[in-house]
Every structure is written in structure tokens, then in C-alpha cells.
Amino acid sequence: MTVTGEASQWTVVGENGTRKSRGFCPTCGAPVFIAFPDMPDVFVVSAASLDDPSRFRPAMVMWTAAGQAWDPLESEVPKFDKMPPAAD
């Protein structure tokens, strides 16, 4: 399946004041990505939206404080209990 066109988006402000825009399919509502206007170098793609998620490796793990014990974390990537700090 190929997705074309503009994603629908909604933006919220997190607990540290960081804005995040969630992009989703305007037809079915499936989540596709999260962008951070205050952190333009960070772009999160929903693994479920990829044809072959095994092609990509995580660069960081965010919100480990909300993680489950049964979900192992990659040992070599940076981890943050919540949202990483915005770069100045």
C-alpha cells in the first residue's frame, strides 16, 4: 500500500513546554509520525507505518519511565526517562 497526500495533524504541548505534532492518515486515522517543531532534528516514525521496519534501527528510546518490563530496550542507544531536552 502506498500512502500519498498530506497527513492530518494535531499539536499538543508536553509537560516541559515542548510542542509535538502527531501526523496520522486522514482516511483511517492510523498514526504515521510525530514531529517536534521545537526540535526540528527529531522526527519519529511509527514502526507500524513502515513496509519493512527491520530496515531501520532506533536512534534513542524516549519515555522509558512508561515502558513495560516485558519490552526489552536496545542496550547501545541513548535512553531518556521522559522527553530528551531540546538542543539549544
The C-alpha atoms of residue 15 and residue 23 are separated, in whole angstroms, by: 20
Alpha carbon 71 to chain centroid, angstroms: 17
58-81 mean pLDDT: 84
- Confidence grade of residue 8 (pLDDT, cut at 50, 70, 90): very high
| Grid coordinates of 59 | 536512534
Mean pLDDT of 2-17: 83
pLDDT-based confidence at 86, cuts 50/70/90? Answer: low
Mean of the per-residue pLDDT values of the chain: 83
- What is the value of pTM for the model shown? 0.63
Q: Closest Cα partner for 37 from 18, 62, 23?
A: 18
pLDDT tens digits along 10-27: 999 987 788 899 999 888
- Which of 3, 11, 59 lies closest to 32, judged by CA? 3
